[in-house]
Amino acid sequence: MRGDVFAGTATAATMTDAAPTEGLQALVAHDPSFDEEALLEQVQRGFFVVQEAWTERKPDLSRRVMADGLWQQHRVQIEGYLNSHKRNVLEDLAVGDLRIVAAHSDTTYDTIVVRVWASCADYDVDDESGKVIRGNRRVGEWQEDWTFQRSSKATTKAAGGTLSSKCPNCGAPLDLDLEGVCKYCKAPVMSGDYDWVLARISQVDY
């Protein structure tokens, strides 16, 4: 999913410079079970889910990762590719590193910004001819900041949450409708009230 900034919430956009050490300390103060390494592993899995949804033009695949507003933007972008009869291919996609570069916790939200160092070939293919119509097959490196948010009342669940394909409310295998509602307990789990959701994606200039 290259070349676009998905804005997410207004608060997500303001947190890119929040000091990670202080923010994580504040987060752990109300959620002692929070595990930074476990979160990064889950983010990496979510990263590949989102990229698969993008390249395969199947937005329903990424519903379990993205917050409501961001997913709607994502879906509209994919529909644009479908209507134009083209596909954005991210070939040989690999993640070199992930790191928390900003974090913040207040009475409303917990926010974490994860920087992703990745590489791939990035090009568009015409559906009918199969020809490359933008980009090329040379692999290049790039960086993105992925901002995750949740309610400050939410805590880490021992059984896992949305990024582990579990409903953070009832613990069932994560099975959502397109509104982000759990089909078992009917909780709106992608609202951010229950667990981390991806709220913003932005390109990093370097």
User: Are 37 and 44 in contact, with CB atoms under 8 Å apart?
Assistant: no
The mean pLDDT value for 48-55 works out to: 97
141-168 pLDDT, tens digit each: 999 999 999 999 999 998 889 999 999 9
> Hey, how many other C-beta atoms are within 10 angstroms of the C-beta on 159?
10
pLDDT score for 182: 96
Q: Is residue 4 part of a domain?
A: no
CATH number at residue 145: 3.10.450.240
Q: What is the pTM of this model?
A: 0.90
182 compared with 7, residue with greater pLDDT: 182
Q: Identify whether 172 is part of a domain.
A: no
* Domain annotation covers residue 184: no
* pLDDT for residue 17: 61
Strand bridging mode 197-203 / 140-151: antiparallel
57 Cβ neighbours under 8 A, 6+ residues apart: 78, 81, 82, 87
- Our count of domains for the chain comes to 1
Domain that holds residue 109: 10-157+194-203
Q: How far apart are CA 36 and CA 78, in angstroms?
A: 31
| Domain-located, residue 1 | no
- Output the 3-class SS for 11-70: HHHCCCCCCHHHHHHHHHHHCCCCCHHHHHHHHHHHHHHHHHHHHHCCHHHHCCCECHHH
Structural domain contains residue 171: no
Mean pLDDT for the stretch of residues 111-134: 97
Q: Does the pLDDT value for residue 2 go beyond 60?
A: no
Gap between the Cα atoms of 9 and 179, Å rounded: 17
Residue 162 lies in a domain: no
Is residue 163 within 8 A of residue 42, CB to CB? The reply is yes
Query: H-helix or E-strand containing 81?
Result: helix 68-83
Q: Is 133 within the bounds of a domain?
A: yes
138 domain residue, yes or no: yes
**Token pair of 158, please?**
């021992």
Which pLDDT score is estimated for 6? 41
Q: Per DSSP, what are the bridge partners of residue 200?
A: 147
Residue 31 has pLDDT above 60, yes or no: yes
